[in-house]
Homo-oligomer: A and B are copies of this chain.
Amino acid sequence: MAHNREQLSASLEDYLEAIFHLSAQGQVARSKDIADRLHVARPSVTGALRSLASRRLIHYKPYGFVTLTRTGNRQAQRVVEKHRILKSFFTEVLGIKATEAQEAACRAEHALGPEIVDRLMGLTEFLAGGDKRDWVGQFRAYCRDSRI
């Protein structure tokens, strides 16, 4: 199989992320719940699960439940973290509303490497980090003035 070191497609990262959240907020990730969460049909999930299993990112047996392997968990956490950082940059710094921020984070998380994401996290802390100078407030005013 040998796709060990290859990086995941955006689609497979989404599946991994969904499995992570479902396992966290309850018990086991069921195929139907993954399908609902990602708005795909159930057979698409079956295919994705097989692909993730062949990469040793999940434990999967047909009709059995799905759990993340150690590697899978590590990779999922990276994706989830990226998502979180992007979303809070969009909402807290740029002032984008939650739903749009959520969706954009979901699309952008696959496009940005760790270097940029780390800096974005830094910028969010720097600008929105409870500082007395209220930079974000000034940026909002600037946006209002220039009609952005």
What residues make up the interface of A, taking CB atoms closer than 8 Å to B? 90, 93-96, 100, 104, 107-108, 110-113, 115-116, 118-123, 125-126, 135, 138-139, 142-143, 146, 148
A142 and B122 in contact, given A108-B108, A135-B135 (Cβ under 8 angstroms): yes
Report A66 CB to chain B, min CB distance, Å: 27
- With A104-B111, A111-B108, A135-B135 in contact, do A143 and B122 touch (Cβ < 8 Å)? yes
CA distance A107 to B123 in the complex (A): 21
In whole angstroms, how far apart are the Cα atoms of A8 and B90 in the complex? 24
Q: A141 — nearest CB in chain B belongs to which residue?
A: B126
Known A108-B108, A135-B135: A96·B122 in contact at CB below 8 Å:
no
Q: Tell me how many chains of this kind the complex includes.
A: 2
- Which of A111, A116, A120 has the most B CB atoms < 10 Å from its CB? A111
> In chain B, what residue has the closest Cβ to A111?
B107
A109 (CB) vs chain B CBs: closest residue: B111
Q: How far is the CB of A125 from chain B (nearest CB, A)?
A: 8
Measured between beta carbons, the chain B residues less than 8 angstroms from A148 are 118-119, 121-122
**New A-B pairs, 15, CB < 8 Å, besides A96-B119, A122-B139, A122-B148:** A90-B116, A96-B115, A104-B113, A104-B116, A107-B111, A108-B108, A108-B112, A111-B111, A118-B148, A119-B143, A119-B148, A122-B142, A125-B142, A126-B142, A135-B135
